Amino acid sequence: MNELIDKDYLTDLTRINETIKHNQNKAMVIVNSAMIMTYYEIGAIINQRKTWGSKYIQKLSEDLKEYGKGFSFSNLKRMAQFSSIIGKKEIRAQAVPQIPWGSIILIMQNQNPTRKCYGI
Protein backbone atom coordinates (compact mmCIF):
# COMPACT_ATOMS: atom_id res chain seq x y z
CA MET A 1 0.00 0.00 0.00
CA ASN A 2 1.14 3.50 -0.55
CA GLU A 3 1.79 5.91 2.31
CA LEU A 4 -1.55 7.75 2.03
CA ILE A 5 -3.53 4.52 2.06
CA ASP A 6 -1.47 3.18 4.98
CA LYS A 7 -2.18 6.35 6.98
CA ASP A 8 -5.90 6.21 6.23
CA TYR A 9 -5.96 2.51 7.00
CA LEU A 10 -4.31 3.01 10.40
CA THR A 11 -6.73 5.86 11.19
CA ASP A 12 -9.68 3.63 10.26
CA LEU A 13 -8.29 0.71 12.25
CA THR A 14 -7.89 2.91 15.32
CA ARG A 15 -11.45 4.22 15.00
CA ILE A 16 -12.82 0.70 14.54
CA ASN A 17 -10.91 -0.57 17.59
CA GLU A 18 -12.26 2.31 19.68
CA THR A 19 -15.80 1.63 18.43
CA ILE A 20 -15.56 -2.05 19.31
CA LYS A 21 -14.20 -1.35 22.81
CA HIS A 22 -16.78 1.35 23.46
CA ASN A 23 -19.69 -0.85 22.42
CA GLN A 24 -18.34 -3.88 24.26
CA ASN A 25 -18.34 -1.78 27.43
CA LYS A 26 -21.91 -0.62 26.76
CA ALA A 27 -22.98 -4.23 26.23
CA MET A 28 -21.40 -5.30 29.53
CA VAL A 29 -23.30 -2.56 31.37
CA ILE A 30 -26.58 -3.70 29.78
CA VAL A 31 -25.93 -7.36 30.60
CA ASN A 32 -24.95 -6.48 34.17
CA SER A 33 -28.09 -4.39 34.57
CA ALA A 34 -30.29 -7.27 33.41
CA MET A 35 -28.46 -9.67 35.71
CA ILE A 36 -28.88 -7.39 38.74
CA MET A 37 -32.62 -7.04 38.05
CA THR A 38 -32.88 -10.83 37.65
CA TYR A 39 -31.14 -11.34 40.99
CA TYR A 40 -33.43 -8.77 42.63
CA GLU A 41 -36.55 -10.48 41.27
CA ILE A 42 -35.32 -13.94 42.34
CA GLY A 43 -34.63 -12.53 45.81
CA ALA A 44 -38.14 -11.07 45.98
CA ILE A 45 -39.63 -14.45 45.08
CA ILE A 46 -37.50 -16.17 47.75
CA ASN A 47 -38.53 -13.55 50.32
CA GLN A 48 -42.18 -14.41 49.74
CA ARG A 49 -41.34 -17.88 51.13
CA LYS A 50 -39.14 -16.89 54.10
CA THR A 51 -41.10 -19.15 56.42
CA TRP A 52 -40.09 -22.17 54.33
CA GLY A 53 -36.51 -21.85 55.55
CA SER A 54 -33.16 -22.90 54.16
CA LYS A 55 -34.36 -26.21 52.71
CA TYR A 56 -36.41 -24.21 50.22
CA ILE A 57 -33.32 -22.29 49.10
CA GLN A 58 -31.20 -25.45 49.02
CA LYS A 59 -33.77 -27.15 46.76
CA LEU A 60 -33.85 -24.07 44.52
CA SER A 61 -30.06 -24.06 44.21
CA GLU A 62 -30.10 -27.73 43.21
CA ASP A 63 -32.89 -27.21 40.68
CA LEU A 64 -31.17 -24.14 39.17
CA LYS A 65 -27.76 -25.80 38.64
CA GLU A 66 -28.33 -25.86 34.89
CA TYR A 67 -27.94 -22.06 34.91
CA GLY A 68 -24.48 -22.15 36.46
CA LYS A 69 -22.71 -21.33 39.71
CA GLY A 70 -24.50 -18.00 40.06
CA PHE A 71 -27.47 -19.78 41.60
CA SER A 72 -25.67 -21.47 44.48
CA PHE A 73 -27.23 -21.74 47.93
CA SER A 74 -25.15 -18.82 49.26
CA ASN A 75 -25.82 -16.62 46.23
CA LEU A 76 -29.57 -17.26 46.43
CA LYS A 77 -29.41 -16.16 50.08
CA ARG A 78 -27.60 -13.01 48.98
CA MET A 79 -30.29 -12.35 46.37
CA ALA A 80 -32.92 -12.56 49.09
CA GLN A 81 -30.91 -10.18 51.26
CA PHE A 82 -30.40 -7.78 48.34
CA SER A 83 -34.12 -7.76 47.61
CA SER A 84 -34.99 -7.11 51.26
CA ILE A 85 -32.51 -4.22 51.61
CA ILE A 86 -33.04 -2.36 48.33
CA GLY A 87 -36.38 -1.55 46.73
CA LYS A 88 -37.07 -1.95 43.03
CA LYS A 89 -37.61 1.80 42.64
CA GLU A 90 -34.24 2.47 44.26
CA ILE A 91 -32.52 0.12 41.85
CA ARG A 92 -33.97 1.83 38.81
CA ALA A 93 -33.41 5.36 40.17
CA GLN A 94 -29.78 4.78 41.16
CA ALA A 95 -26.74 3.35 39.41
CA VAL A 96 -27.25 -0.01 41.15
CA PRO A 97 -27.70 -1.98 37.90
CA GLN A 98 -24.28 -0.76 36.77
CA ILE A 99 -22.50 -2.10 39.85
CA PRO A 100 -21.08 -5.63 39.56
CA TRP A 101 -22.81 -8.27 41.72
CA GLY A 102 -19.64 -8.94 43.75
CA SER A 103 -19.44 -5.25 44.65
CA ILE A 104 -23.10 -5.22 45.69
CA ILE A 105 -22.40 -8.14 48.03
CA LEU A 106 -19.50 -6.24 49.60
CA ILE A 107 -21.65 -3.12 50.00
CA MET A 108 -24.37 -5.14 51.73
CA GLN A 109 -21.84 -6.76 54.07
CA ASN A 110 -20.20 -3.46 54.97
CA GLN A 111 -23.42 -1.49 55.29
CA ASN A 112 -24.89 -3.75 57.95
CA PRO A 113 -22.57 -6.64 58.86
CA THR A 114 -24.90 -7.89 61.60
CA ARG A 115 -27.96 -8.16 59.36
CA LYS A 116 -28.69 -11.79 58.62
CA CYS A 117 -30.81 -13.28 55.90
CA TYR A 118 -31.15 -17.04 56.02
CA GLY A 119 -27.95 -17.26 58.03
CA ILE A 120 -25.74 -15.05 55.84
Q: What is the pLDDT of residue 113?
A: 47
List the domain boundaries for the chain. Answer: 3-111
pLDDT of res. 45: 95
Q: Which amino acid is at 17?
A: N
Please choose, from the candidates 41, 33, 117, 50, the residue with its C-alpha nearest in 3D space to the C-alpha of residue 78: 117
**Closest-CA residue to 57 (of 93, 83, 86):** 83
pLDDT digits (tens, 9 = 90+) for 83-93: 988 877 777 66
Q: What is the pLDDT of residues 11-63, one digit of tens each?
A: 999 999 999 999 998 898 888 888 888 999 999 999 998 777 778 999 999 99
pLDDT band for 118, please (50, 70, 90 cuts).
Answer: very low
pTM for the whole thing?
A: 0.69
Residue 77 CA: distances (Å) to CA of 15, 51, 120: 44, 14, 7
Give CA angle at 84 (62, 81), nearest 5°.
45
Residue 77 · residue 11 · CB < 8 Å: no
Contact 57, 73 (CB under 8 A): yes
